[in-house]
Amino acid sequence: MRRVWSLGVCAPLFLFGCSDTPDGEDTSSTSDASDSSASTAEDDSGDGDGDGDGDGDGDGDGDGDGAGDGDGDTNACDFELKDQIDLGAAMADLAALADIGSTNGDTRSLGTPGYAASLDFVEQALIPLGYEITREPFDVEAFTEFTDPVLEATSPDPVTHVPGDDFVTMQYSGAGDVVALVTGVETSSGSSGCNADAFTGFPAGNIALIRRGGCTFRTKALNAQDAGAAAVLVFNNTGGLFTPTLGENPGVNIPVLLTTAALGQELDAGTSNGITVHVAVDAELVTVATENLFAQTIDGDASTVLVLGSHLDSVPAGPGINDNGSGAALMLELARGLATCTPTAKVQFSWWGAEEVGLVGSTHHVNAMTSADLDAVIGYFNYDMVASPNFTRFVYDGDGSGTGAAGPDGSGIIERELIRTFDDLDLQVVPALLDNRSDYAAFAEAGVPVGGLFTGAEALKSAEEAASQGGEEDVAYDACYHRACDTLDNVNQGVFELNMKSAAHALQFFATDPSELASLASVRAPVTKLRLPSLDDHSAGCQHHLDR
């Protein structure tokens, strides 16, 4: 098992032409998928019986004894599911999602026609596969801005800053229109604004300037609000902008903006001379109806369920093709492959809604499950951002050996099988902290073993990662994270295909023999109803920016 421990990685919670091989060779071709397809075709035509097993007896079980089930298929999953992965088909799915985005205002976000069309596309792709398909409706209190936000210095030197270039409104910010002096709060600290004591002596009515890092945006904003701040400016500690969120119903009633690192440093320098700024946010919460989508196998033991999940929504700023069209397409490709099998465990593929506004869809689903239904779930597998252009091969650190924080019992078993495909190819992976910043959070808090893959977001790739995995050091894993440029061009096909193969192996391993995970279900801690995960206690990670 070749793993690189990278405790300092913002397991993002995460340019082009990057490679997926240790020596930097380009792996974006479809040669693996083409080779496996060619081999399958040759086997199908070589024995004359049409069952594809090569033994000539027509029973489809491959053992040559003629005692199969008589339907000429390979329905016991007695083939390597990872070898059936078709990169071309998955890229066609991504192209369809990109087209949906481009024809619907360049977004597939909550409450938009782009999200509705994405649901319809995935559902139509699933219908021929023979799954039980359901939708789960739920309501979300969605943050809605009615006019562009304002950030401008009024004295001593008037400067008007540009929304979308210099700053953005944090999702679930309070509304307001404020002109006040700016006061910095521990702006040189890596945990600026994380402790209420840092606001001792803060002048009530001023605007708090806080550096990103160390705790959730919500914690910083609430500390500032409690100290009497009229607004909050959080400046990035790594460069540009992304779409941050305070989380659903954060209790923040004052305007909260995120600025670039450069603008934040400029404002910080101006505080020594007394800089006054104008901040305005015109927004409110609007109830939006949305849906999760599920495809469940007809076969399999209903008391032994594997749940796989990827969120389908994007942020408003872009079409979200890496984040998270890549995970959604990976799941579709797995569903195609598993459709020819009869699994021992029941398998549920889940496309979550409203992830980008606080993991709402997956949390709603877990909250709505009965204790018996939740007890039947023996493992949850999460696929979120699996094709980043300047990727690192991250695998969630289920056993805690790399990050010091293990998932629920059994998470290490899931991690082991997700790593296996990379081990077989002698490729290094990096363990990522399970910090409740993607859709596995509600399952983990219910005691369900969790695991998954991702390839990085706006954090910078380390020198160690660049040396072992290729790509560019000190460049974001995905420079288009939560931006309009997260299009079809923002995908590394090589790592995308590898992640699909890794996920396919893990699915087949546990779907055909769930006993190892099932044995742990009887000793799971009692399940209670969950609320939206409180992330204040998790200080690292930045995948969807409920913190840092």
Active site residues: 355
Q: Which of 51, 50, 70 is nearest to 62 (CA)?
A: 51
DSSP labels for 421-446? Answer: HHHHTT--BEEE---S-STTHHHHHT
CA distance 37 to 9: 37
CA distance 25 to 32: 15
* Mode of pairing for the β-strands spanning 377-383 and 450-454: parallel
DSSP labels for 284-309? Answer: EEEEEEEEEEEEE-SSSEEEEEEEEE
174 DSSP assignment: P
371 DSSP assignment: H
Residue 520 CB coordination number (10 Å): 18
Place of tokens 């983990």: 444
CA distance 140 to 290: 7
Per this entry, what is the length of the chain?
Answer: 548
CA dihedral for 280, 285, 289, 291, sign (positive or negative): positive
Torsion of CA 100, 15, 395, 465, to 10 degrees: 180
State both tokens at 85.
Answer: 């992965």
